[in-house]
Amino acid sequence: MRAGVDLGGTKIDVLMIDGDRDVIGRARQRTPTEGGAAAVVDAIARTVEEAADDAEAGIDRLTGVGVGSPGAVDPAAGTVGFNSNLAGGWVDPYPFAEELARHVGTPVRVANDVAVAASAELELGAGRDLPSFLAVWWGTGVGGCVVLGGRRWEGNGASGELGHTVVKLGGRICPCGRRGCAEAYAGRAAMEARARHLHERGQRTKLFDLMRKANRDRLTSGVWERALKEDDALARELIEDAYDAIGAACASVVNLLDIDGIVVGGGLGTRFGPTGAGRIREKMRPHIFNPTRDPPVRPAELGDDGGAIGAALLVR
């Protein structure tokens, strides 16, 4: 029995996997909003125990725990640094695998969250028949992973920051502090901050009413979807900006690398599914340089479970 952990800006998802990909248990907790890396490791350990309970198995049956994490992950060292979205954030590399292994008493491997989700799509999902593709992970932030000739391109370990592609010089400020990044327009966190700002300045929107009705304190992907269904003008405008930004960033990658397709996952990506993938393709088209290239854009097949399934592959 292996555990796969999908560590996100909003929640921690843990799956217990038996054999290759049979899900025999699961648990979910909110990601801590303060306390830094140590608080996150604590919360993961508790969620793993809960998932083991759900599988009606002792945690001692675990042969390994794989974690997909945002931030700067060094898989060889097992450390995670430069993490601005989680638990108040931390900068220095934290011995994530070692600390979590101490809690769960079994080997732990950690890798970039988008990289593990992309690996799962490559092996088991929408990327199976695409020799080269860009995985776009559209959620709290916007992550990316490039698969070239059937293998993830990792660079020196800090690759995949598709969300920090500059799509508008001098444009909107990104949560990362820089200007004009795709994530400044398309990250759920940035979209929420923008909506809040405009709402406070008098712009009408149902977004925050829908959030309260759903008993949430963030504009989750479900809240955005609901607002679009109710034809909320502000939601429509901000989602349009997001599609513009993602479309431009993806088209630029196609122009440079001439890949075979795009796979879209993450909280918002999964929520908007085939419709969202279609909108991204439509927004890419005006920027694709070579008119004979118009690669398919597909929703991630493994949906919300992809991150955790991919993480469990780390300890296969």
Positions in the binding site for a copy of itself (CB under 8 A): 72, 82, 132, 144, 146, 148, 153-162, 164-171, 176, 178-181, 244-245, 248-249, 251-253, 255-260, 286-287, 289-293
Least distance (Å) between residue 226 CB and a copy of itself: 27
Q: Which is nearer to a copy of itself, 19 or 286 (CB)?
A: 286
Calpha distance 235→240 (Å, rounded): 8
Q: Which is nearer to a copy of itself, 41 or 251 (CB)?
A: 251
Q: How far is CA 256 from CA 165, 212, 250, 252, 296, in A?
A: 13, 43, 10, 6, 16
Sorted by sequence, the CB contacts under 8 Å of residue 101 that are 6+ apart come out as: 65, 107, 108
The DSSP-derived string for 81-93 is: E-B-SSTT-B-S-
Q: Which two tokens stand for residue 140?
A: 């709290």
Q: Which is nearer to a copy of itself, 105 or 155 (CB)?
A: 155
Query: Side chain identity at 265, as an amino acid letter?
Result: G
Query: Side chain identity at 127, as an amino acid letter?
Result: G
Q: What is the DSSP letter of 223?
A: H
Least distance (Å) between residue 267 CB and a copy of itself: 20
Calpha distance 122→1 (Å, rounded): 22
Q: Which is nearer to a copy of itself, 29 or 159 (CB)?
A: 159
Q: Which is nearer to a copy of itself, 93 or 95 (CB)?
A: 93
How many Cα atoms sit within 13 Å of 34 on the Cβ side? 0
Q: Which is nearer to a copy of itself, 27 or 259 (CB)?
A: 259
Q: How far is CA 12 from CA 50, 74, 230, in A?
A: 12, 20, 30
Q: Which two tokens stand for residue 166?
A: 């500059």
Which position has the token pair 């593990």? 116
Q: Which is nearer to a copy of itself, 19 or 170 (CB)?
A: 170
H runs (alpha helix) in 71-147: 96-104, 113-124
Least distance (Å) between residue 14 CB and a copy of itself: 28
Least distance (Å) between residue 248 CB and a copy of itself: 4
